[in-house]
Chain A
């Protein structure tokens, strides 16, 4: 049933062969096709630019005031590529292997290998666009090791790599806007995908300035709408990040894969109060020099400086003597949770652990530490008002990235013909856990180097059918979708209860964080499954949405997104309940090794879980895509 369309042949030749075999669209005919791209992050902007360069007519929608605001902009660390400039033994194969293993053997070999193959082209492209990567004095590009990799393959632009890459893709797209090949529609929020005669033929969007519900017709639709981390309310995502575009596509027939794979990043600033609106990530490079600890005894409220060594528990160093503070993200996060659950957490809320630089400062001097982490220490002080050179930082894990997403085949097409998903919006390359500096790589790989080829194959094949069943805004499915979206907006505007949308979103988020966060159990998940419908009911009964529809109405925008989160959360929980194993970002307490590590069950769960929508509150139907590992051996991770 689920055909991943992985090309035959040896792994290393699949992509080349595929490109040779796929159909091409005659250059003169490309201008006869319109492709709709939703989202202008790395994936959406790079796809828009590249498709327009090929000659397609592109319409690009973003809910921001300008494409440059997309959340890719906030990525700090860097972007991986197998250039092997440092001559330290990196190869395409090694990047492939690290990514597959890092994903805890739950990603598709063929996709990941292709990702590693095109990684080098991405760096070339970005440099040509004027992206100011870090360089050495000799004028060549600098690399660093990141996220525990044994080679230095990460290219970076100080702590603002995402910003620089996004501005590169944005300017490439703006060039096409100037050439008239991309029609850019800002402040448009996609509300639905429209399917006609079995193919995706456009979307419905709300003009966020005047509330008009607008139909957009096209020959193919590309979703590049990011991840769903904000289902937890508090996350490192930007405030507007949401699941709505992907979820509404799911409701129209696109399968949703592995929603329970959520990455929780260990080094974020802790929650400080109940009005907090988001969490801020601090680069995990801090763990290279900082030591993580909590008091040995529960309820020890002394200031950190007054707690003697004998009363401190450096729990990562104690439990993982060989990796110590540098254990992978999921292990570090989970252990922080455990010590806080034991009542040994620090700070006002008890939901934080210390990250202490005192030893490093004593060893290397304050100046050395300032040179390495000055900007991070500055940011920490700005937000918390505390000086981390004098007092240990307080950190806590936070939701950061979602590996799950719309199911796509090798061509990045969803289960709806003509509907594609790129970047964090799809599920394809990171398995159950994403490695540092790989999100930027995947977003740009999909947009610059994959979709420009694969969409041509579809359009060339579907050409006759698309023309035979042409669509206009008057086509029944478009009119129906406009009506549905209008009705839904009116229903939201009629909500006149006693709670803000945020307070209900926060309630959902806390439930998800408690029961479906870093550590999950059958009982907890069942409890969440029972409570989510109650919160959803509370929303539709007691939320308050002020203002009108025919104007800028930020509460209405929020309400629409939260309404989707309240349905989608159930799918995450269903997926987490069904996956009776631990892998990557999905840790089920029932399935762990005697040392407390994630215990996979490759016999029964080496598959992608792709879910088919059956209705609000109805259980989704599971479709399995078996993962075949022909080139790597499945191993158990150990960091002792």
Chain B
């Protein structure tokens, strides 16, 4: 790999918050031996190992697959969800993208619908609530016709796939000035709206999911587009346009 022994010296400003009711604050840490080959999360592991051995509490952060697909990780790094690299989750961001001597500010994904649990860990269960409100096709196990019974044009299938790649990380909500979850919601609505299997319930689905979205305290979309820029899977804003069309249609359908 590319490392050549040039270790980075970094100043980290990390959001520390003991629990949901604690006020929380940014705490500074100096880290002088960061390998450029470390992932951002490995850098945090490294800091945590030091904190533990010094008798301090390690920084709580969520992570799991560390290959950009589970959606567990995420933080606002220098003001950007998942950091400044486009199309990259925090676990795939590597320290070679930072300069020696740089100060890095690390904060949780903030939104009123994502209450902070501890340090960088937030509660994103509101996303499950949105899915629960209609993010599915009602088909019981065993009810399905042959998989090739309904042909689906490749272009539509590809668009549905692009929408379906959302990993549910919440970066879009954290990036949105209104803390709206419209990109997340529209990705699911689009996936099913584009597929014939999803059409029978399309009107009910979109109405119910939008109502749940609003009820949970997410803001409205006012077309800033920050969500799509921050999205590690680069989900397109076109999905929000499709959501709006589906929603309008649902109001006139019987």
Interface residues of A (CB under 8 A from B): 46, 49-50, 53, 64-69, 71, 73-74, 83, 85, 121, 123-130, 132-141, 157-158, 160, 162-164, 167, 170-172, 174-175, 177-178, 184, 186, 209, 238-240, 270, 272-273, 275-278, 280-281, 347-348, 379, 382-386, 394, 448-449, 452, 498, 500, 502-503, 544, 546-547, 551-552, 554-555
Is B254 close to A, CB under 8 A? no
Also in contact, A128 and B197, with CB within 8 A (given A69-B70, A73-B70, A167-B164):
yes
Partner of B38, one of A240, A273, A348, A554: A273
Q: Is the CB of B147 within 8 A of A141?
A: yes
* Complex contacts, A136 vs chain B, CB 8 Å: 154
Ranked nearest first, the 4 interchain pairs of A and B with the lowest CB-CB distance are A139-B151, A171-B136, A128-B144, A124-B144
Is B81 close to A, CB under 8 A? no
Q: Is the CB of A64 within 8 A of B72?
A: yes
**Interface of chain B, main secondary structure:** loop
In B65-96, which residues have CB < 8 Å from any A CB?
65-67, 69-72, 88, 92, 94, 96
Q: Across the interface, name the chain A residue whose C-beta is closest to B5.
A: A348
Partner of B64, one of A64, A123, A125: A64
Told that A157-B164, A385-B1, A546-B57 touch, could you supply 15 new A-B pairs with CB distance under 8 A? Answer: A65-B123, A68-B71, A69-B72, A71-B70, A127-B150, A127-B197, A128-B197, A135-B151, A170-B131, A171-B135, A178-B133, A239-B63, A281-B67, A347-B1, A386-B2
Is B148 close to A, CB under 8 A? yes
Tally of contact residues, B, Cβ under 8 A: 79
Q: Across the interface, name the chain B residue whose C-beta is closest to A135.
A: B157
Partner of B39, one of A209, A277, A544: A277
Also in contact, A498 and B64, with CB within 8 A (given A174-B128, A348-B1):
no
Q: Is the CB of B57 within 8 A of A547?
A: yes
* Complex contacts, A50 vs chain B, CB 8 Å: 140-141
* Complex contacts, A178 vs chain B, CB 8 Å: 132-133
Is B223 close to A, CB under 8 A? no
Q: Is the CB of B136 within 8 A of A175?
A: yes
Instruction: Show 21 residue pairs from A and B whose CB-CB distance is below 8 angstroms, ordered by the A residue.
Output: A69-B64, A69-B71, A73-B70, A124-B144, A125-B141, A125-B142, A130-B137, A162-B69, A174-B132, A175-B132, A175-B136, A178-B132, A186-B128, A238-B64, A272-B3, A277-B39, A280-B67, A384-B2, A384-B37, A502-B49, A546-B55
CA distance A383 to B11 in the complex (A): 23
CA distance A126 to B136 in the complex (A): 12
Q: Is the CB of A385 within 8 A of B142?
A: no
Q: Is the CB of A128 within 8 A of B117?
A: no
CA distance A160 to B132 in the complex (A): 23
The smallest C-beta distance from B158 to any residue of chain A, in angstroms, reads: 8
* Complex contacts, A170 vs chain B, CB 8 Å: 131
In B137-173, which residues have CB < 8 Å from any A CB?
137-148, 150-154, 157-158, 160-161, 164-165, 167-168
The smallest C-beta distance from B95 to any residue of chain A, in angstroms, reads: 10
Partner of B92, one of A124, A133, A348, A383: A383
Q: Across the interface, name the chain A residue whose C-beta is closest to B139.
A: A128
Partner of B94, one of A163, A385, A498: A385
Q: Across the interface, name the chain A residue whose C-beta is closest to B152.
A: A139
CA distance A634 to B56 in the complex (A): 59
CA distance A164 to B94 in the complex (A): 27
Q: Is the CB of B132 within 8 A of A275?
A: no
CA distance A502 to B53 in the complex (A): 12
The smallest C-beta distance from B63 to any residue of chain A, in angstroms, reads: 6
CA distance A500 to B56 in the complex (A): 12
The smallest C-beta distance from B111 to any residue of chain A, in angstroms, reads: 15
Is B226 close to A, CB under 8 A? no
Also in contact, A128 and B137, with CB within 8 A (given A71-B65, A275-B45, A386-B1):
yes
Residue of B62, B135, B147 most packed against chain A (CB within 10 A): B147
* Complex contacts, B253 vs chain A, CB 8 Å: none
The smallest C-beta distance from A131 to any residue of chain B, in angstroms, reads: 8
Partner of A71, one of B18, B42, B64, B151: B64
Q: Across the interface, name the chain A residue whose C-beta is closest to B143.
A: A128
Partner of B141, one of A132, A134, A240, A449: A449
Also in contact, A551 and B2, with CB within 8 A (given A139-B154, A278-B66, A382-B94):
no
Also in contact, A500 and B53, with CB within 8 A (given A135-B152, A163-B165, A275-B35):
yes
The smallest C-beta distance from B72 to any residue of chain A, in angstroms, reads: 5
CA distance A154 to B131 in the complex (A): 29
* Complex contacts, A46 vs chain B, CB 8 Å: 141
* Complex contacts, A125 vs chain B, CB 8 Å: 139, 141-142, 144
Is B192 close to A, CB under 8 A? yes
The smallest C-beta distance from A395 to any residue of chain B, in angstroms, reads: 12
CA distance A139 to B151 in the complex (A): 4
Q: Is the CB of B41 within 8 A of A277?
A: yes
Q: Is the CB of A500 within 8 A of B52?
A: yes
CA distance A556 to B22 in the complex (A): 21
Also in contact, A500 and B125, with CB within 8 A (given A53-B140, A139-B154):
no
Is B228 close to A, CB under 8 A? no
CA distance A68 to B72 in the complex (A): 9
The smallest C-beta distance from A130 to any residue of chain B, in angstroms, reads: 5
Q: Is the CB of A384 within 8 A of B124?
A: no
Partner of B121, one of A240, A275, A546, A552: A552
Q: Mark B165-204, 1 if CB is under 8 A from A, else 0.
A: 1011000000000000000000000011001011000000
